[in-house]
Every structure is written in C-alpha cells, then in structure tokens.
Structure 1
Amino acid sequence: MSVIYQHFRPEEKEFIDQVTSWQQYVENTYSEKLTDFLNPREQYILRSIIGENNEIKYIFFGGTENCERKRALIFPEYLQPSNEDFQITLYEIEYPKKFLNLDHRMVLGSLMSIGLKREKYGDIIINGDRIQFFLATEVEQFVTIQLNQIGKAKVSVSKLDLKNAIISDEDWKEKETTASSLRLDVILAAAFNISRQKAQLLIQQGHAKVNWETVERTAFECDEGDVLSARGHGRCCLLSIQGKTKKDKLRIKLGLLK
C-alpha cells in the first residue's frame, strides 16, 4: 500500500484506503459496490487505483453524461450494469420565482444544513430560474421532508425522470496551454490569464480553493482531476497532463468556467 500512497497526497490516504476496501469487497463477494457521489479528483484516484485491465470494472454516472459529481459502480466483469443501478434521483426546486433569486451557494447551503454529507448530493443545475439537483435515492425521503426552506423562502421539491434534467447555463470551455510546473500559483495564472504575482496574492489571502478546500500555499502541487477556483475569476479543472514540450514545459488541458 505504501507504494500507492506515494503517488497521491498525504491527506488523500483515507480515501485511497476506502477505494482499496471497495475493490477488495467486489473481489471477495463477486458483487457490485456503489459509492456516494465523488468529485473529479476522487474519480481520478479511483480510476488510478482500480486501473483498466483488472477483472474488476468501474463506471461513473452522475445523472446525465455532463455531470461533474458522479457515483461510481465497481463490479465484477461479468455484470452488465445500467443507469438504474446508480440509484440517482432528480428533483426540481419550486420557489416563488417572481420575488426571489436563488443561486448555487444558497441551494447547497440549505441542502447541507439538513444534516447530510455533501457526498449524498450530485450536481446542482441552474438554468435561468429553474433549479434542479441530483440526489442519492437512498436519502430522498429524508431530503423531501426536510428541505422546505432556502434562505427565508419557502420551497418544495418535485421528483422528475432523469431524462428531464435541464442543461446548466454554466459555460465550460476547454483550454490547452503550457505551464512551467504544477504549482497552484502557476496553474491559476495560466488558467485565468493573470500574473503569477496576482495568483500568489489570491492564494495567500485565502481566496483560492482546490477541490473545494481553501489552500494558502502557493507551492501546492496540483494534479489531474483537481478542481481549482479563485475568487472573482471563476473555476477550472485540470483535465489532463499531456507530457512536455521541447522547452521542458508541461502541456496541460484545462476545463474553464468563468
């Protein structure tokens, strides 16, 4: 196991152990294991550990093909899973749209305040004044009873078929660029077209996050699957590291959300 740990961050050890235990469970029982919703970095770790050539397979699904947060189904190769096996439910929030504007932060805050961990919720999708969210089916009864207010507004939720999911009006774009290293300040500067000094200041002031956690170390090493954000500049995902240029710079692909 120590060989596996050295490829990842020290704080990811607990999740690595969890993935390994899921893999062993499937190997020992010949039955599938369904995870909670995983963020892109966790999906990358799971892919790296389970690999592509084992008798143990995995598929990710978050409710639609475009979801950022996804549940993983780990299963023996003889099984043929379907989307129903992921046990994901879609809900739309009904609220007084004429009098109220709700945003992602307010919706997530209210979902978290009812006492469930973030891993039970998938993406929150907003398009105009319509708001939907994906949910682990095993907790839907609890959520539908508890979620009746966002901010000061009374709300209700209605269950929809997954095929009725709206498309987010967030505008993600892919960008291929080069970077001298995988340091957080370097990647933020490359992603958002700002100076490295400006990126360092944002990090030192606590305005930068990696995988939704504030990071104040400019030399923090980013890796594939990391979701980065800088206050006032947007969000990006380090999609892939594609080798080096002749000048020894790293070629990287980013997903950008402004």
Structure 2
Amino acid sequence: METSRARRASSRREVLHTNFLTPPVLKESMLALEKLSDIRAVAQGGYPQAERCRISIGHPDVLTSDPDVIAALSVTGNFGFQPCSHGDFLGAILNKGIAREKLGDIILQGEKGAQIIIVPELVDFIILSLDKVGNVPVSCTKIPLISLDYEAPRTQTFKTVEASLRVDALASAGFKISRSKLVDSVSKGELRINWIPVSKNNTTLKTGDIVSVSGRGRLKIGEIRPTRKGKFEVELIRYL
C-alpha cells in the first residue's frame, strides 16, 4: 500500500482500513508500515490462522484497540450428496458482483457448508442474495467471529542436512520427492514461495519462508544451522 496514505491518515488522526490483502502483499505492507514513526498498523483476518487480512492504520493515540472491520457469515445447506469446494463457494459469491478483495478466508465445514469472512458492509447483501452454491440451496446468517469453527493446522516437523539452501534441495526433502520431480513442478509453474510463483529452482530459501507445490501441500522453513562440514541443518515444518 502507499505509505503516503498511511502518513496522511496518521497526521489527520484518522483510521484507514485496507481491503483484504493476499499473504505476500500483507507481509510486504506490514514491513513497510513498521518502518514509519507515529503509525500503528493492525492486521486482522477473523481468526489466528487467517491468510487474507485487512490492515487498519492510524496514529497510536487514535488506533487504541482492534477495529471492528471483519464480519463472518455461515452458509449452510445439504452438501452431503453434492460436496462443494472452496472454489464453488468463492465463485457463488463473486457471481453476485462482489470483488475478491472484499472477501477474506473461506472455511469449509464439510456437509454443513462453509463460513465466510467478509467486509461488514456486504453482510446484508449476501444474506439476501446468496441462495445457491453449485446446485445446493443455501441460507446465510451472520455469526460472531468467536463462532468461527477452524482447526489449528496439523504439522510434522523434521530436520534435513543439505549442501545448499536452494528451493529444489529443501522442497524435495520436505515433500519427500525426487529433485527431478521438484524441478519439473517448478517448470510447470506449480511451486510458490510465500504465495508467489517461482520459475528458478536455484532460488535460496530462508527461515520463515513458505513453500507450496500444487497437489503436495505446504512447507515452512524453520531454524537453519550451519554444520561443521559446511552444510546446513534445516528444520522443515510440513502442513498435513
């Protein structure tokens, strides 16, 4: 986001709210805002593991608590015989003319439906207009954020010793696939680092990076320690 807008909001003692941001944009924006004096920035997505978040920006004297800029909806229907995917719920909402940046995460609830994070000003519109997802009739109700039914991610942590910190070395170890298959995924555009597609398999990774490969899941780079033999002992955290 433009830091000039943040400075202007702070000087005027106003609070500025962004739309929902993707993880890479969110990370970049928060890093930029942290460098500015007399500005407080709060990122909110509705629940601790939220990927898509809004940022509220203002002077610390004004932005004293987390603003109420997130709303949640429960979309329910009989999905037992016709399961619907994340894309089905997203498409049903976007087809109502709502821009993607007005939507946060979509939490699937199996046969019951899904919970949708959204900007508060669109809650009534969705409740009135969203009546079907796929071929399944649905009803929508507003729910408090405390009622969001999410699970903390399950992870498996292990260590590997590699000669380099290249993504092809660490990702092949993390996903337990051959390096040739990993390189093939890179060439097909299936590998992302911090949600951004990567086209070079020699890209260097660092602690905190998130690596994802289509069809194989997600991996986080943990602590990195050099070994006495000039290699790297790397902690890998795989999301199950």
TM-score (norm: length of structure 1): 0.75
Decide which of 64, 71, 74 is 1:92's aligned counterpart: 74
Tell me the residue number matched to 1:117. Answer: 99
**Residues 1:35 and 2:18 are matched in the alignment:** yes
DSSP 3-state at the match of 1:22:
helix
DSSP 3-state at the match of 1:82:
coil
Counterpart residue identity of residue 47, structure 1: M
Tell me the residue number matched to 1:6. Answer: none
DSSP 3-state at the match of 1:58:
strand
**Residues 1:101 and 2:106 are matched in the alignment:** no
Counterpart residue identity of residue 117, structure 1: A
Q: What runs of 5+ residues in structure 1 fail to find an aligned partner?
A: 1-17
Aligned residues: 238
Distance 1:53-1:21 versus aligned 2 partners, 3 A rule: closer
Return the alpha-carbon distance in structure 2 between the equivalents of residues 41 and 56 of structure 1: 21
Distance 1:161-1:27 versus aligned 2 partners, 3 A rule: closer
Contact preservation (8 Å) 1:89, 1:136: yes
Decide which of 146, 151, 163 is 2:134's aligned counterpart: 151
Deviations along 1:99-130, one digit per CA (max 9) or x if unpaired, are 22122232223333333333221121124434
Return the alpha-carbon distance in structure 1 between the equivalents of residues 164 and 100 of structure 2: 31
Contact preservation (8 Å) 2:126, 2:140: no
Contact preservation (8 Å) 1:127, 1:168: no
Return the alpha-carbon distance in structure 2 between the equivalents of residues 146 and 225 of structure 1: 41
Once the 2 structures are TM-superposed, how far is the Cα of residue 212 of structure 1 from its aligned partner?
A: 5.2
Contact preservation (8 Å) 1:97, 1:129: yes
Contact preservation (8 Å) 2:10, 2:57: no
DSSP 3-state at the match of 1:42:
helix
Distance 1:175-1:157 versus aligned 2 partners, 3 A rule: farther
Tell me the residue number matched to 1:63. Answer: 46
Counterpart residue identity of residue 54, structure 1: S
Decide which of 111, 117, 126 is 2:108's aligned counterpart: 126
Return the alpha-carbon distance in structure 1 between the equivalents of residues 207 and 8 of structure 2: 27
Deviations along 1:12-58, one digit per CA (max 9) or x if unpaired, are xxxxxx24233222233222211122233223212221226722111
Percent of aligned positions that are identical? 26
Return the alpha-carbon distance in structure 1 between the equivalents of residues 186 and 115 of structure 2: 32
DSSP 3-state at the match of 1:111:
helix
Decide which of 183, 196, 205 is 2:179's aligned counterpart: 196
Tell me the residue number matched to 1:3. Answer: none
Once the 2 structures are TM-superposed, how far is the Cα of residue 234 of structure 1 from its aligned partner?
A: 1.0
DSSP 3-state at the match of 2:117:
strand
Once the 2 structures are TM-superposed, how far is the Cα of residue 67 of structure 1 from its aligned partner?
A: 1.8
Return the alpha-carbon distance in structure 1 between the equivalents of residues 159 and 99 of structure 2: 34
Return the alpha-carbon distance in structure 2 between the equivalents of residues 253 and 41 of structure 1: 22
Q: CA RMSD in A?
A: 3.2
Distance 1:140-1:178 versus aligned 2 partners, 3 A rule: farther
Distance 1:211-1:121 versus aligned 2 partners, 3 A rule: farther
Contact preservation (8 Å) 1:41, 1:226: no
Distance 1:88-1:176 versus aligned 2 partners, 3 A rule: farther
DSSP 3-state at the match of 1:36:
coil
Would you tell me which structure has more helix in proportion to its own residues? Answer: 1
Tell me the residue number matched to 2:29. Answer: 46
Larger Rg: 2
Contact preservation (8 Å) 2:15, 2:63: no
Contact preservation (8 Å) 1:40, 1:226: no
Distance 1:148-1:250 versus aligned 2 partners, 3 A rule: farther
